[in-house]
Structure 1
Amino acid sequence: MGSETAQEFYGRWASLYDLIARRTPGIPRLRRRAAAACRLDRGDTVVEMGCGTGANLPYLRERVGPEGTVIGVDFTRPVLDRAREHTAEYDNVHVVRGDATRPPIGRANADGPTVDGSVDAILATFVVGMLADPAGAVDDWCDLVGPGGRVVLANAASSDAWYAPPVNAAFRAIVVLSTPPTTKLRYEDDPHRRLDAKVDAAHARLRDRSAAIADETHVFGVVRLTGGRIE
């Protein structure tokens, strides 16, 4: 999922990212809504692809209860260290190092437990924009949960709201600053347009594969949330 450059970038900014992920106004509410869209029952198994510093994991644990299982997957060790700190009190929340496009599910994994049983739901927030083939990753996630399973995506993209111009200007600046390497002043293609295309492709593929249970926008229209029950 990520090159060494990306790992170094997100590892270096793990503390700041953790603060933003937990304290940005409106984001905790969004995370709770994303967990709800997974339609989890107590005892379910849910996997978060690209769990980052673990901001979503407590919300998922609330849904599955102490008898369920929550697995967070990410590829950057400093970020995972933060996630482990935040979830240390839960014995049924596990954080493992792995690639969201090749998740350590159903096979041996040195960094954490192996999930041999079925996965009831997959959540991926602010992840697909970092993938080379986001639609293909969504297909793999849908296949992993199988018919009746749920997949939920939440991602930032340009707003279509009537007040979009100033919002999108701020969004473009954030995308450039958060795209490694940040020292570049010019890109062959605009990072925000590339991100928009990836988010559009991932969410469209999920809608094609599922009966939609949620299709919403949040945070001034910048964040898109799509949840589906796989057919």
Structure 2
Amino acid sequence: MTDAQSFYGRWARVYDWIANAPGVTAWRDRTVEALALAPGDTVVEMGCGTGANVPHLRERVGPAGGVVGIDVTREMLDRAGERRRRTGEGVHYVQADASRPPVRAADAVLATFVAGIFEDPAAAVDAWCDCVAPGGRVALLNFQRSPSALAAPLNLAFEGFVRLSAPGTRLSTRSHASAFERRVRAARERLTARTVDRRYETLTGGYLGLLSGTVP
């Protein structure tokens, strides 16, 4: 078992509570919109966690579509399977490494809050783009520091969040936040290089960055 599996396995219940905190729904709706899904599409979520995005994705693809959630941590997937709105016909969960997804020819790929945890985020984005059919979209949603001058106290909270949410590191909080940001930047740069019709926007006062693009 990897450090990540052990860490997220222990904290699956708390993670699920945070993932469904008040106010988060608006982020998820906007992110799903960026995928431009149509009824009947198949969408894959990389690092799906406890499946909090699944109801939003199911609503867009409809009963004829499919939602595949990939996560390396069994406890996360088990938690997803306990929620009625995150299961049912057309929903499939797969325990696998999201940086090497066992899927092909999907209509869209979603990755929320996971790009910053991979050692090689650019390679992960390559794998995600490779499993999307031409014309499909890929969307990345990630936490980031806010550029606002008034945001300094909350930026410190961001550094603490990154430290707590990234297992297996001995770096200082500030050093790890910087490493996290480098990885997110690398993921965004690779998605920019691999896609067309790109869109970028910030949410929640600049603390979230949403980048999406179409695979040619």
Report the TM-score, using the length of structure 1 for normalisation: 0.87
Cα 1:172–1:84 shift into 2, 3 Å: same
Alpha-carbon contact 1:157-1:195 (below 8 Å) kept:
no
Following the alignment from structure 1 to structure 2, what is the Cα–Cα distance between the partners of residues 101 and 174?
23
1:103 aligns with 2:101: yes
Distance 1:213 1:90 in 2: 32
Q: Does structure 2 conserve the Cα–Cα contact (< 8 Å) formed by 1:212 and 1:226? A: no
C-alpha displacement of 1:129: 1.0
Q: For 2:30 and 2:134, how far apart are their aligned partners in 1?
A: 23
Query: Which residue does the alignment assign to 2:11?
Result: 13
2: distance between equivalents of 1:192 and 1:88? 31
TM-aligned CA deviation for residue 83 of structure 1: 1.1
Runs of 5+ unmatched residues, structure 2: none
In structure 2, the residue matched to 1:129 is 116
Q: Which residue of 2 aligns with 1:113?
A: none
- 1:229 matched to 2:214? The reply is yes
Give the number of equivalent residue pairs: 215
Aligned 8 A contact 2:159 2:173 in 1: no
Equivalent residue of 2:50, what SS? coil
Deviations 1:50-91 (A, max 9, x none): 000000011000000000010000010111001112246521
Question: 2:202 is matched with which residue: 200, 205, 217?
Answer: 217
1:38 equivalenced with 2:35 (yes/no): yes
Structure 2 match to 1:114:
none
Off by >3 Å, runs of 4+ in structure 1: 186-189
Give matches, 1:67-216, under 5 Å.
Answer: 67-86=64-83, 87=85, 89-105=87-103, 118-181=105-168, 187=172, 190-216=175-201
The Cα of 1:188 is off from its aligned counterpart by: 9.6
Larger helix percent: 2
Report the residue type matching 1:168 in the other structure: N
SS, match of residue 206 in structure 2: coil
Provide the alpha-carbon RMSD of the alignment: 1.9
Distance in 2 separating the partners of 1:48 and 1:152? 10
Deviates more, 1:85-94 or 1:132-141: 85-94
1:54 aligned onto 2:54: no
TM-aligned CA distance change 1:43 to 1:131, over 3 Å: same
Q: Secondary structure in 2 aligned to 1:42?
A: coil
Judge conservation of contact 2:51–2:86 (CA < 8 Å) in 1.
no
Task: Flag structure 1 segments of 5+ consecutive residues without an equivalent.
Answer: 107-117
**Alignment-mate amino acid for residue 229 of structure 1:** T
Aligned-pair identity in percent equals: 49
Q: Shift in Å at residue 230 of structure 1?
A: 1.5
Cα deviation for residue 210 of structure 1 reads 1.6
